[in-house]
Amino acid sequence: MPLRWEAFLDRVKERGEYDSRQEADRAARVVLALLGAHLVGEVRAQLAARLPEGFALILLNPLQSAEPLSPERFVRATAAWIEGATEQTAAWDVSAVLSMVADAAGEDLLSQVLLQLPAGYDLLFGHPQPT
């Protein structure tokens, strides 16, 4: 069962140490839109099913990406989409959102998600994989 929108945002707000739900919402929308561009098929659908409906729709209707972004470029892209963000603040945003996504996904689905992403995303999700 997916988390409620308020619960998801409150956890992102706490992890990102944001002053408001609005800041957490902005970060979640950008990060999920970029993430959705990197996932396909059943994995994206299963992940969307574990997110609150509004965020699931963002994941399922992502920003377009010509190629998979490395973790570093993912953070830079996040910074470009969030007004006033730097790469440092964007890395914080990405971590706050993706760690919450990892919790919602669970280990099995997260493993499938990571298989669709370039190497290094495990760190962005806060779940380092053995090398």
Comparing 68 with 33, which gets the higher pLDDT? 33
Determine the pLDDT at residue 13: 97
Determine the pLDDT at residue 30: 96
Say which residues have a Cβ less than 8 Å from residue 80's Cβ, sequence separation at least 6: none
> Does the pTM exceed 0.75?
yes
CB 51 within 8 A of CB 8: yes
Percent of the chain with pLDDT over 90: 89
State pLDDT tens for residues 39-77.
Answer: 999 999 999 999 999 999 999 997 777 788 999 999 999
pLDDT at 100 over 70: yes
Band of pLDDT at residue 1, cut at 50, 70 and 90: low
Report the C-alpha gap between 57 and 43 in whole angstroms: 14
Report the C-alpha gap between 62 and 76 in whole angstroms: 17
